[in-house]
Amino acid sequence: MAYDEELADRIRALLGNRAGLTEKKMFGGLGFMIGGNMAIAASGQGGILVRVDPDESDDLVATTPAEPMEMRGRPMGGWLRVGTADVADDAALAEWVERGAAYAGSLPPK
């Protein structure tokens, strides 16, 4: 499954012209990086992947529709998956975009 181009356009619009913003196709999706650090991606499996502070991951999983991202059966701390239906609303998507952009922007540029 290819990533949802409409969802990618919505993410792009929310990110605007932030300093250091780049896009990169990866793993069947489209990643949005700030300073070379992944912030958010339109996932090739549907929905979005969001990079967050690893210390906040468990709380976000407990209080939002987000689920831990798994790679090869292992949960990846600081990476969350949010389903398509949970970002259908522009306000919901904007919260995740801002969360991912803020964390990526706090990291040293690559």
- Asked whether the whole model's pTM tops 0.75, one would answer yes
Residue type, 103: Y
Give the CA radius of gyration of the chain.
13
Taking the CA atoms of residue 26, residue 31, residue 36 and residue 38 in that order, the dihedral angle to the nearest 10 degrees is -110
The one-digit pLDDT tens for each residue of the chain (110 residues) are: 689 999 999 999 999 999 999 999 987 899 999 999 999 999 999 999 999 999 999 999 999 999 999 888 888 889 999 999 999 999 999 999 999 999 999 999 98
Encoding tokens for residue 63? 């209080």
Total Cβ atoms within 10 A of residue 52: 22
Task: Determine the structural domain holding residue 94 and report its residue range.
Answer: 5-106
For the chain, the distance separating the N- and C-terminal CA atoms, rounded to the nearest angstrom, is 29
For 22, list phi and psi in degrees, rounded to 5.
-135, 160
CATH code for the domain of 72: 3.90.1150.30
Number of domains in the chain: 1
